[in-house]
Amino acid sequence: MKAIILAAGKGERLRSITEWVPKPLLPIGGRPIIGTLLTNLRAAGIRDVLVVVGHLADEIQDFVGDGAAYGVRLLYREQAERLGTAHAVMQAVDFITGETMVLAGDTAFGPDHIGGLLRFHRRTGADLSLSLKRVSPERLTATSSVALAPDDALPLEQGGRITHIVEKPAPGAAPSDVAAAPLHIYPPSLAEYLPRVELSSRGEYELADVVNMMIADGLRALGKIEPAAPNLTDQRDILRLNFDYLLPLLDRVARS
């Protein structure tokens, strides 16, 4: 299995820090996010990795290099225009020669997320597997929501068969409180589906449409619910996820 890391975004909500440091190089737990991802991909047995870069691409390439320090083989592709997740993966379409894990470069997925999803995918025999997380209703409009049906692979409270995914649903229109985290495993046919994705109403080409097309074509999509992996949304997250002694202060600020 190969992996594609999406690392082209500008990190607008983390400006001005991300004007000179790309988001994947920012720390969570004192370690750069992309370093955490590469370490955990290698631990899961994934050695061939492609990073889709864009904003401050040279900084990422200079830091990570060819991946040898992490025990992986790295390639890079540039996403010159940020036109959505499916568009980003399309830049690496020639890299997709078998099953492929796709993950965001701004979320510190741990071994239980990366290795756990890979083991789940192999155990269940799913065609595609998604890491899922429960989110509050007010956050669903900024992420996604999946409709789930029971499946023999696992109890419904732990996940299930995905029948549909809605990207950034309107308030009250989400099919569940379960969202798809940006960590997916796709079959080799991903390369054939990407060119079929149409521009969404938000002006992006989205992987959610790939998932829905695959489901409509009869592929079995399963999701595994895990605790949400830490990621950086705003500058307070950098403090919260790296400096434990500041947590009481940040809690007081949040309540004020």
The reply to whether 249 falls in a domain is no
Retrieve residue 137's tokens: 């209703």
In the numeric block, the tokens 């992006």 are attached to 204
Any domain includes 164: yes
How high is the pLDDT of residue 162?
94
Residue 132 in domain? yes
In this structure, what is the dihedral angle of CA atoms 146, 147, 153, 158, given to the nearest 10 degrees? 60
Asked if residue 16 has a cis previous peptide bond (ω within 30° of 0), the answer is yes
Q: What CATH number does the domain containing 214 carry?
A: 3.90.550.10
In this prediction, residue 20 carries a pLDDT of 87
pLDDT of 143 higher than 70: yes
Strands 221-225 and 128-134: parallel
- What does the pLDDT average to over 16-31? 88
Instruction: Quote the tokens at residue 89.
Output: 């993966």
Rounded alpha-carbon distances, angstroms, from residue 97 to 163, 240, 247: 26, 39, 45
User: For strand 100-104 and strand 2-7, is the pairing parallel, antiparallel, or unpaired?
Assistant: parallel
* Token pair 């999803």 in the structure block, residue: 117
Confidence of residue 170 (pLDDT cuts 50, 70, 90): confident
Local structure of 181: helix, strand or coil:
strand
pLDDT at 156: 60
Give me the amino acid identity at 213: M
138: helix, coil or strand? Answer: helix
pLDDT by residue (tens digit) across 89-110? 999 999 999 999 999 999 999 9
- The pLDDT of residue 251 is 73
Q: What is the mean pLDDT of the chain?
A: 90
Q: Give the domain extent around 227.
A: 2-242
Give alpha helix (H) positions in 125-189.
137-140
* Domains of the chain: total: 1
Structure tokens at 5: 């890391």
Task: Tell me, yes or no, whether 256 lies in a domain.
Answer: no
Altogether, the residues listed in the chain come to a count of 256
> Tell me, what's the pLDDT at 253?
65
Name the phi and psi angles at 246, rounded to 5.
-90, -5
Phi, psi of 14 (to 5 degrees): -110, 15
Write the single-letter amino acid at 255. Answer: R
Per the domain annotation, does 152 fall within a domain?
A: yes
118 part of a folded domain? yes
pLDDT band at 120 (very low <50, low <70, confident <90, very high): very high
Please list the alpha-helical segments (H only) found in 9-161: 33-43, 57-64, 85-90, 111-124, 137-140
On the question of a cis peptide bond just before residue 201, with omega within 30 degrees of 0, the verdict is no
What pLDDT, in 10s, does the model give residues 204-234? 999 999 999 999 999 999 999 999 999 888 8
Q: Find residue 196's DSSP bridge partners.
A: none
Residue 252 lies inside a defined structural domain of this protein: no
Which of 10-19, 84-93, 148-157, 168-177 is least confident?
148-157
Residue 82 belongs to a domain: yes
Angle at 130 between CA 124 and CA 133, to 5 degrees: 115
